[in-house]
Structure 1
Amino acid sequence: MPEDEIERAAAQDEDNPTTDEGHWARAAVGLPAHDEAPTKATIQASFDRDVVEFFKRGGRGYQARMNAVLRRYMEAEKERTP
């Protein structure tokens, strides 16, 4: 099936989560699975207060969650830019 037909079929599929705007509003960030823990670098960084408070509301592990979001962004950029 040609890619344009696949895209058209996906756009018309009511069960396709990308056609439901609310789907992404309910998305959750998960920690990536690694065979080995990546080496950590200790840095001093400043973030907007509301961003830090948002992650802290999730309880312990807020820095790991922030790292997971940054990692996903990094991975997406690597896929997008060869």
Structure 2
Amino acid sequence: MSKLPRPELVDDENPEWTEADFKSAVRIDGLPASLQKKLRGQRGPQKAPVKVQTAIRYDADIIEAFKAGGPGWQTRINNALREWLHGRAKA
């Protein structure tokens, strides 16, 4: 198998880096932490944390029923639990 690049993948405007390119590369360490996180694709802190991440297991038919309603199924589960909770508080 050839180690040469496939011709259709060669891009004259963005040539493959050479060993010299790697040796002369400069690491950017002077960026603010907030920008470094964004560059790494990490989500920043919530402005007003109101949600708690947890793991919970439901029966498959429950999940299927909520997912059948399309996007937003997790929010619908949250709303259903909130309704149930408010119903119990009134009783």
> Structure 1 length as normaliser, TM-score?
0.50
Identity %: 36
The structure showing larger relative contact order (alpha-carbon pairs under 8 Å, at least 6 residues apart) is 1
Extract unaligned runs of 5+ from structure 1.
1-36
Q: Distance in 2 between matches of 1:76 and 1:57?
A: 25
Q: Which of these two proteins has the greater Rg computed from alpha carbons?
A: 2
Q: Which has the higher helix share?
A: 1
Extract unaligned runs of 5+ from structure 2.
1-47
Q: Distance in 2 between matches of 1:63 and 1:77?
A: 21
The residue number in structure 2 matching 1:57 is 68
**What are the Cα deviations for residues 23-80 of structure 1, in whole angstroms up to 9, with x where unaligned?**
xxxxxxxxxxxxxx98111100000000000000000000000011000000010111
Structure 1 residues 58, 38: closer, same or farther in 2, change over 3 A?
Answer: farther
Give the RMSD, CA atoms, in angstroms: 1.7
Q: Distance in 1 between matches of 2:72 and 2:60?
A: 17
Structure 1 residues 77, 38: closer, same or farther in 2, change over 3 A?
Answer: farther
Alignment partner of 1:72 out of 83, 86, 91: 83
The residue number in structure 2 matching 1:46 is 57
